[in-house]
Structure 1
């Protein structure tokens, strides 16, 4: 069976540094940090008092109040980003065969704020279980693609991938396979997360995962820097329209890039810590290259998982050196989490969009906030430190890894 080609025809982004794909891109190349003191709740007793929240975002500018109240923030974000991507793709929704349009979405946690609020309301009551009838439909992680398909009438495959912080990269790879195997013509894919909540911040603080650099939030996310002390929690959504190449070509669609392949693996090592030798990361990148039919020396740019954690950053860079050998020194490596923070289940989608736009514009966004060299990191690697670098990017890889040892990797190429 001949596999069908899959291309990117639409993008949508709702992020801590920009509420559209264009705003997001402009902020990326200018090295803008999205970290700031938390505004959603009182952080006086919290170890970490900052995060990468959305800025100047009012959901009622996009969704009417009645409908918005039926959605957790993570689902609202999904609706906004996916709408932007659909408009960007210029799909004619009156003509497309909706039986062959799917929605495959990633979310690592889902409706955490809804769950938190309903349980707190119950705890403050007299023990009578007076739960909101929308509690369950607002909370479940699969409701985001459900809502997208309901709005637009998309009747193809519809589900959520849950693999912690690898969730939306997982969704992108699943979508690729659905299209190239001939099951769909178009898939709306990506991911969303809204975990900047009391439970989210408290939980990640309890496991010592977050930076506590409260005196300087904007510099707290510092991947590859020797003084990094944990990740900065972010929120938002990224949406990508994937389309079968001949279908896109027939309607004269703008094509951003070709999605050539992806890879999946497991560390099989620890609940939260990466394997120190990056064994699972080596496997996922090799799987991705093989699946895409790309040689290591063809890769120009890697958007790393790069969360700004002491163990994770070193393990990933060791794995890159192992997989790419001497060519690793020729690759523009970066971590856009230095600006967006860590969007958990939405990270893979947002970082794939950053990777695609780097190809389109010929510029690799920087890894900001780097000041102190880590002696455990190969100094010959080009980590694109502190300033964007012009580069003709023809092939780009995006890595995302999640708690539980989940690893996902996707690879995009400029269309020949």
Structure 2
């Protein structure tokens, strides 16, 4: 079975443009959560989200094709440019041996939202003829493929908050199985539009104050937006062109709870982590850091903590765990890619980032995350989790290159 190397990463997030900006903000505890107001929402109760810095999207749109591209595709292309450049890929490195595997939960939400508003105000008016190709979930994947001439297989995964993590996992499997030599993988989401925001608000899972994963008094998540891209290659392909791997994807686990559409299940999450560890061929004690799904909702955090204890056993006592969602927000289909990048940096620098806004341990949780300040660790491997609505679980194990 072929080993899978990570040779490039790229990100656009509430922390700014670039993977380094995401990591530094996460490491230093600088949150990208800011005020977000929607005049069309008459009773907006949640007024904060992890929104891109002022002017960033506008500057990215200037170099795009707004007639044909929703912002979600623009974010994807911006992150892809950074990842491809870091990987040092040239025109001859794509073609039929390069796949694109993409994750998104909602697709082109801004275009769809604008179309609904227009239809309600002027049902007989002229509609944007490019609405469908801008909205379709696979648009970012296709734009990335066209940008680099990647004519290998293209897949679009939409499994809610596990989308990007499963995209990375599937890309890993394509390379392991010899169906591709390299894959451009990741996810993007642009959900901060009024109708979608109100839909999330109606679920009563968002905090009106602060996202406090695993903390006593936690009361919900913060939505976020952005994109994360990872370049995966077979170790042989990377070596042949003289690339320097940043890390390796050693294990992938994917399970389904088949229990409840919204409520997470301990058994499914624990089985997912065990599967990723077994796939990597390592013991739980080899993991030094876990980037938790850690949404800050009461049910999710309790379930994930119990699942970690179940999957890691005695090793959970010394395990460093943190959630970085208070920094970059819960970017839904893109969350797994952003958190994969954070986990990669954490492994390379042997430093676990803190969990912002932690106030006090919740005895019902039983796991206290890394609070307030980073923690140094020494380990060859790290793990990242994504547990989604629909009972979809995904975990990835990274090892040092």
TM-score (norm 1): 0.93
Q: Which residues of structure 1 form unaligned runs of 5+?
A: 214-219
Q: Secondary structure at the match of 1:227?
A: coil
Shift of 1:43: 5.5
> Matches of residues 390-401 of structure 1 in structure 2 within 5 Å?
390-401=376-387
Cα distance in structure 1, aligned partners of 2:74 and 2:60: 9
Provide the secondary structure at the position in 2 that maps to 1:67: coil
Alignment of 1:9-408 (within 5 A): 9-38=7-36, 45-59=43-57, 61-62=59-60, 64=62, 67-93=65-91, 95-125=92-122, 127-128=123-124, 130-213=126-209, 220-275=210-265, 278-378=266-366, 381=367, 383-408=369-394
1:317-352 Cα distance to aligned partner (Å, 9 max, x none): 001101111110111111011211101000110000
Misfit runs of 4+, over 6 Å: none
Q: CA contact under 8 A between 1:11 and 1:241: conserved in structure 2?
A: yes
Q: Which range is displaced more, 200-209 or 266-275?
A: 266-275
Checking the alignment, whether the CA contact within 8 Å between 1:358 and 1:393 is kept in structure 2 is no
- Tell whether the 8 Å contact from 1:355 to 1:396 is kept in structure 2 after alignment: yes
Q: Which residue in the other structure is 2:398 paired with?
A: 412
The structural deviation recorded for 1:71 is 1.4
Moved more, 306-315 or 251-260: 251-260
Q: Is the 8 A contact 2:214 2:368 kept in 1?
A: no
- SS in structure 2 at match of 1:182: coil
8 Å CA contact 2:269–2:393 kept in 1: the answer is yes
Preserved contact between residue 106 and residue 171 of structure 1 (Cα < 8 Å): yes
**What secondary structure is seen at the aligned counterpart in 2 of 1:188?**
strand
Name the CA distance, whole Å, in 2 between partners of 1:66 and 1:399: 32
Whole-angstrom CA distance in 2 between matches of 1:382 and 1:253: 39
Task: Provide the C-alpha distance between the structure 2 equivalents of 1:333 and 1:159, rounded to a whole number of angstroms.
Answer: 31
Structure 1: how far apart are the matches of 2:141 and 2:188? Answer: 10
Looking at structure 2, the residues matched to 59 and 337 of structure 1 have their Cα atoms a distance apart, in angstroms, of 21
Give, in whole Å, the separation in 2 of the partners of 1:390 and 1:42. 46
| RMSD of Structure 2 on Structure 1 (CA) | 1.5
Task: Note if contact 2:26-2:354 (Cα within 8 Å) is conserved in structure 1.
Answer: yes
Give, in angstroms, the shift of residue 69 of structure 1: 3.6
**What SS does the aligned partner of 1:274 have?**
coil
Deviations 1:1-26 (A, max 9, x none): xx111000001011112311111111
Q: Is the 8 A contact 2:361 2:368 kept in 1?
A: no
Asked if the contact 2:94–2:148 (Cα under 8 Å) also holds between the matched residues in 1, the reply is no
State the shift of 1:40 in Å: 6.3
Residues of 2 paired with 1:51 and 1:44: CA distance?
Answer: 18
Q: Deviations over 1:184-212 (max 9, x none)?
A: 11111010001011122100111111112
- The structure-2 alpha-carbon separation of the partners of 1:40 and 1:361, relative to structure 1 and needing over 3 Å to count, comes to farther
Offset at residue 41 of structure 1 (A): 5.2
- Secondary structure of 1:123's counterpart equals helix
Whether the 8 Å contact between 1:274 and 1:311 is mirrored in structure 2 is yes
Higher mean C-alpha deviation, range 384-393 or range 355-364: 384-393
C-alpha separation between the residues in 2 aligned to 1:91 and 1:389? Answer: 34
Task: Give per-residue Cα distances to partners, 1:134-193, cap 9 Å, x unaligned.
Answer: 100110110001001111111011121000000000100100010010011111101000
- Give, in angstroms, the shift of residue 57 of structure 1: 4.2
C-alpha deviation, 1:58, in angstroms: 3.3
How big is the shift at 1:62?
4.2
Structure 2: gaps (5+ residues): none
The answer on whether the counterparts of 2:33 and 2:326 sit within 8 Å (CA) in structure 1 is no
User: Any conservation in 1 of the 2:286–2:379 contact (CA below 8 Å)?
Assistant: no
How many residues were matched structurally? 401
The alignment partner of 1:7 has SS state of strand
Give distance in 1, aligned partners of 2:241 and 2:60.
Answer: 28
